[in-house]
Amino acid sequence: MAAPPERRCWEREQARLKAGVVEQDTEEWQKDPNFTGLERVGGVDLSYIKGDDTSACASLVVLSYPALQVLYEDCRMVAVTAPYVAGFLAFREVPFLVEAVQRLQQEEPKLRPQVLLVDGNGLLHHRGFGVACHLGVLTDLPCIGVAKNLLQVDGLARDELHREQIRSLQRSGDTFPLTGTSGRVLGMGACWVLDLSFLNAQVLRSYNNSSKPLYISVGHRVSLDTAVRLVRSCCRYRVPEPIRQADIRSREYIRKQLCAPLEVRPARPESSKKEAELEDESDA
DNA sequence: GCGACAG
DNA sequence: ATCTTGTCGC
């Protein structure tokens, strides 16, 4: 069965944009062990409404660095058109993220982030060009892909080897390379914040069941090593703060969108209902 | 053929 | 992505 023509078109577009991807540190602060000179880190995310796959809230936040305080927030309802297809996430979400970045640069140019953390993958992708690369090339900003689940590509899978790598890093607090069958390191698995809440109850099982790793990969204009160091320095909880704030705020925005119409809805016409009931009774 | 599949 | 409460512990 041939791939849908729409997907063919998407692949051509990715191939075209891929020429612009940069996998190396291009900024001075990236080369500094303490990221001296880095002052603003951005995070982006889309949240969806449960039964509605076309309405979403796109959010962009900018946090100060290293304090990680929110300097800027932009949440906006958008009409999503492209369906979600694993491997083609960028075509669904990137247009709205680019708009948000352009809006920021127009309205608050001084708050332009120096790097963006993106929910999803960069080079860790079927065609080596995930949403983080896509957004990076279109905005010309350094981008880092941070995924919460492993995209199974180039032989990578949630197999016994992968589970063993997770177990080993949870003891050392370190990272492990995501090496594809091709031999290429596509990204790094990492887990810096362990969930020890149930340590007392099941000490033994905790090592096998505690929090899942993050999957970090290069998006644009950043090296993998720098990407991993930066994400680590942004983690208060499992998910790095810029993405976490974008996620929290977009979900909250949607929650308020859903509640607002209920509050202004006029009271039910109780009178007519009672009259109808009375008529029924009188007829009976 | 069946299963897998970032958000 | 989203559906979902309480609960146990520091």
Domains in chain A, ordered, with CATH?
Answer: 5-150+214-253 (3.30.2170.10)
pLDDT, chain A, mean: 86
Token pair 């669904």 in the structure block, residue: A92
Region of residue A37 (phi > 0: left; psi between -120 and 50: alpha; otherwise: beta): left
Protein CB footprint (7 Å) on chain C nucleotides: 1-3, 8-10
CA A117 to chain centroid: 8
* Strand B contact with A128 (CB < 7 A): no
> Distance (Å) from CA A247 to C1' B6?
15
Kindly state the helix (H) or strand (E) to which residue A193 belongs, with its residue range. none
Nearest nucleotide by C1' position to the A127 CA atom: B6
> Distance (Å) from CA A183 to C1' C4?
41
Does A208 score more than 50 pLDDT? no
Nearest nucleotide by C1' position to the A47 CA atom: C1
Protein CB footprint (7 Å) on chain B nucleotides: 4-7
Question: How far apart, in whole angstroms, are the C-alpha atoms of residue A108 and residue A101?
Answer: 10
> Distance (Å) from CA A87 to C1' B6?
7
Which pLDDT score, from 0 to 100, does residue A117 have? 98
A121-151 residue pLDDT tens = 999 999 999 999 999 999 999 999 999 999 9
> Distance (Å) from CA A39 to C1' B3?
45
Does A209 score more than 90 pLDDT? no
Does A283 score more than 90 pLDDT? no
Residue A175 — φ and ψ, nearest 5°? -120, 165
